Amino acid sequence: MTYSPTNKNKHVPQRSCVICRVKGDKKNLIRIVRHPEGGAVIDIAGKLPGRGAYICPDDECISRAKKSGLLAHSLGTVINDEFWNELEDYAKNHEVDSDMKIRSVLGLSRKAGVLIIGTDNISANKHKLLVMTARDCSESVREFASRYEENITLNMTIEELSETIGSGGGVQILALPLTAKKAGFADKIKNMAARHAEGKTERGTAIE
């Protein structure tokens, strides 16, 4: 591939999901626009005029948007069941990288109050946990995470991880419970990480 000096500084538009509040590349989110006659439409080309909002193509975000009414409130309109069915179908075929999906789950888990941040809080938790570290975390943090049976390294820097969960910065490690009643978020991340690893193996790339 030919190197182009302009690629390094190429601006990639960023937007935030109206539900989980996680920021990501515009192309990885779905833009919803209020229809002039009421209701909402999917802005497939990303060029429709009017009041709009972005949402992750994740079933959890879409489900919460439907139940909470946040998307309808953001658009200032009423959204019918036909649109929700259309959005769910469209989201299934919307290509998005696994990192964005994981960020979305982390954002939702933070809003749900189940995300555990920092070694002190993780140490104090007596439940079985999925421990996750930033890829550029310190050796001491990496060694701490290795003590847990379920631990993974996320494809995010400390800065990206901090931004994802809305922290002031410096987040190197976090965890999610694996107990029966609270394992939903952790299981999602484990499954996505496993699929990502399988895909890299199939392409002949070493797994991080």
- Indicate the number of domains in the chain: 2
- 46 and 82 in a common domain: yes
- Pairing assessment for the beta strands 151-153 and 129-133 based on DSSP bridges: parallel
Q: What range does the domain containing 184 cover?
A: 98-202
**Residues facing residue 53 across a β-bridge:** 32
- Whether 68 and 132 map to the same domain: the answer is no
CATH number of the domain within which 38 lies: 3.30.1230.10
**pTM, entire model:** 0.70
Please tell me whether residues 14 and 108 are part of one structural domain: no
**127-175 pLDDT, tens digit each:** 999 999 999 999 999 999 999 999 999 989 999 999 888 887 799 999 9
- Element containing residue 142 per DSSP (H, E): helix 139-145
- pLDDT for residue 208: 42
Give the pLDDT confidence of 166-200 residue by residue, as tens digits. 887 799 999 999 987 777 899 989 888 877 666 55
Claim to verify: residue 80 and residue 174 sit in the same structural domain: no
Q: Residue 20: inside a domain, yes or no?
A: yes
Q: Are 53 and 31 in contact (CB under 8 A)?
A: yes
Alpha-carbon span 182 to 161, nearest angstrom: 21
